[in-house]
Structure 1
Amino acid sequence: MSDTLLDHIYESALIPEKWSGALDGMNRISNSRSNSLFVFSDRFSPRGISTDMTSDLLEAFLQSDAWRMSPSVRWTLDTRPGAFSSVDDVLSEEEAVADAVWAPLAARGFGQRLATVIPLSSGDQVTFVLARMRDQGAYSAGEVAALDGLRPDLHRAMFISARLGLERASAMTETLARLGLAAAVVDPTGKVIGSNALLDSLSIILSPTALGRIAIRDRARNQVFRQGLERIGNRDAPPGGLSIPIPAAPDGSHPPLLIHLLPVRGAAQDIFAGGQALMVVSLLERKAAPLPELLNGLFDLSPAEARLVSELATGMTPRDITVARDVSMATLRSQVRSVLAKTGVSRMADLAQLLAQIPIANVRND
């Protein structure tokens, strides 16, 4: 996977008009000819952008309600595939022929489509739909795997980009204010270049240090934070962002929180005065059991690990899971150890507390 593509994705998080370039990069690694990004919400009409070959069809799609009756769109939004999945394999020939959204694409010679949904805690659904020409045949396992490897980074980037409404923010202070979230721009040493008042109010979990830097009061999580900053600042290190969960305080002084650390790349560095990382703190409120695809995006869990966590959150015991999945207890214990490490907790009790607070809104579009 190209490090440049990941940089482009994180640049797009802060300058949403850059998403067209990121979509082109996803086309290249999967040999696709079209890639479209949509944000579906109960709060506003669908929004989206598309690469050149299908950009002329985008306006009609967004301004019409035809998508509500489209079998392919309905399957994608209702199923919410947590990995890039073939849309065409699940539709009957009759459904494909009657699909008003698919008809103009088929007329241009497009064949197989891959779609994935990234659910956001706001209730919005971010959908990526890629397509290739009919004479290219089906996507290979390697091409699908390359796209799936991007999902955690796409999730972090869309967490911010969806808040900005796929429109460019022209200044650092405007960007932070429009996020509606506690946020700060920091350099690789943790020095704060700019922050908003919401972040300044979180002194119970964050503390100022020497030379204008910021730190997480919890020592273990601050170490993870520092390592994340160092990785973002080191162009030779593996690229990518980071999510750090902060459990609720035992004394009730603060609720569960999640700290997102996103690289600032490309032209976004001009907006953010040379800062290299955007630190965003979001409040976790209990709404329902978390979806596996949301867990995958928040903590970079594998599909099997995300499924395990979701099963535990519904009350299944480890023994129940081994029987239902026909896996050994040793395999399950290995997955549990990996989940604890990725979520930053040391005990199953702490994990249960964290899971109880992860938000998931009603994302149906009936």
Structure 2
Amino acid sequence: MSGFDPLVLIDACYAAALDPEKWSGALDGLADALGARGTVIVSHDPARTAQTLASERIADVGVDYGAGGWWQHDTRIRLGRERGLLRPGAVMVDEMYIEPDRKRTDPFFQHFIDRHRLGNLCAYVGADPMDRHTLSFSAPRDVRKGPFEGFEVERLGLVGPHVIRAFRLTALVGDMRREAEGLTSALERMRAGIVILDARGRVRLVSPAAERLAAGYIALRGGAVPEAAEPVESARFDRFLADILPDRAWPRQDILLLRRRGGGRPLSVEALPLRGGDPFPVAGAGLGGGVVLLLRDLLAPATRPIEPLLEQLGLTRAEARVAALVGQGFAPREVAEQFAVSESTVRSQLKAVYGKLAIRRQSELAVFITRLDSL
């Protein structure tokens, strides 16, 4: 097994779970290690089987298998089910359940496998930890190669469980990111931001909106306890933090109106307990849960949430946010700075907005947003 480093391959799969664009390179690297033409991940859940993930080298095979409908006629999956071979943890090769004569006469092999010049297949079967449906990580040979060698089958059995696990993590991370985007959008519409403190009152997470709202009111440094920016508010803010920490009876004072350094309207700081264990535990500390601080500018002018209406017209959430701001008079450069993206990204999203709304220039968008705001 010289030249085979399973840790590098496994690390590449888990890196792809966080950045799906890396999956193609990870799957190609696995194909090289297994002596295969490419690799592919297939769900055996009928509701998801058409959604395959294939390495770049056999991308055309993956598209044909899914969009072309061949997943509905996959003889390998059907025979594997009939013969009880699709068990989590199983490693299979064609010779275990498909006779050579059957391959020569079976429509799936004749019209799909032969057309793509694929040969033998080696596959690891895993179980989805969420719904227990099985998935397979498969490595098809080129038609010019013979059966898999024993060491290649061993390699696939070694990395297979991690490939399946990382693949499911990709979906879970995507779901979490979408939920987080939804929460961020909702908080922005409320003109609110969140700060998460651990059980010792130290800052662990600050949302972009909270960072903007806290300016001049609260000093927020990662790993440190927040401090009031206005010296005369220090003692009152320190007492507020002491009251909301988990070892105190809840609640005592869970809302505080904090004055700004140099004057100005107050900032509302509301404390919400994090139930359960400390989300950022310290070894041996044995502390309870942390605290969420909800920051709100109560006197900010109220605005109607236009973005949900724009999303109903076919815009993505990101496009709706850009359209709303540009339609209110913000320049693309200002929008890019606010969302921490490049100006070219904003202009690309704006071009998509114009196409979907059938308008041609920013002045038309401004009229449209104004009328939408009056609904």
Calculate the TM-score normalised by the size of structure 1: 0.44
- Higher relative contact order, chain-length normalized (CA < 8 Å, sep 6+): 1
TM-score normalized by structure 2? Answer: 0.43
Q: Max radius of gyration: which structure?
A: 2
